[in-house]
């Protein structure tokens, strides 16, 4: 059974700092990996999707990398802002069920002004 782990569970950084969020998964036979953002009381917003054949994806200040063989992904946030404060969730889909996601429990990020 696929298991997804995100460490740390919570992170607090000063504004302007570059930071890295980590995600690890136990079964490397994934179809893709997605990073989501969740604001309090809200649903999930997809940030980046990395296909299994890709190494990284970038969107603005966000960069996500994928090392399928080692079962790891990182989300890099450059020049963090207070508006980046949210919970970030990592999810993987299996090769045989590409749209069924297995989620990590998330990293709660606080960017202090």
Which residues of this protein are in contact with another protein, per CB under 8 A?
Answer: 4, 31-32, 34, 36, 41-46, 49, 51, 89, 91, 98-106
Q: What is the DSSP string of 64-101?
A: EEEETTTTEEEEEE-S--GGG-EEEEEEEEETTEEEEE
- Shorter beta-carbon distance to another protein: residue 71 or 106: 106
To another protein, the closest distance from the beta carbon of 94 in angstroms equals 11
Enumerate residues 6+ apart whose C-beta is below 8 A from 112: 12, 13, 14, 15, 82
Helix, strand, or coil (residue 15):
coil
- Shorter beta-carbon distance to another protein: residue 34 or 80: 34
First-to-final CA distance of the chain: 41
- Shorter beta-carbon distance to another protein: residue 41 or 83: 41
DSSP annotation of 17 reads: -
To another protein, the closest distance from the beta carbon of 31 in angstroms equals 7
To another protein, the closest distance from the beta carbon of 110 in angstroms equals 17
To another protein, the closest distance from the beta carbon of 72 in angstroms equals 17
């Amino acid at each position: 059974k696929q298991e997804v782990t995100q460490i740390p569970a919570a992170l607090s950084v000063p504004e302007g700092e570059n930071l890295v969020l980590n995600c690890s998964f136990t079964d490397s036979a994934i179809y893709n990996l997605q990073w989501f953002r969740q604001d309090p009381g809200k649903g999930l917003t997809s940030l980046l999707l990395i296909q299994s054949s890709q190494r990284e994806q970038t969107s603005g200040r966000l960069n996500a990398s994928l090392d399928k063989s080692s079962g790891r992904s990182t989300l890099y946030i450059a020049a963090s802002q207070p508006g980046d404060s949210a919970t970030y969730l990592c999810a993987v889909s299996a090769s045989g069920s590409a749209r069924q996601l297995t989620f990590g429990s998330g990293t709660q990020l606080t960017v202090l002004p």
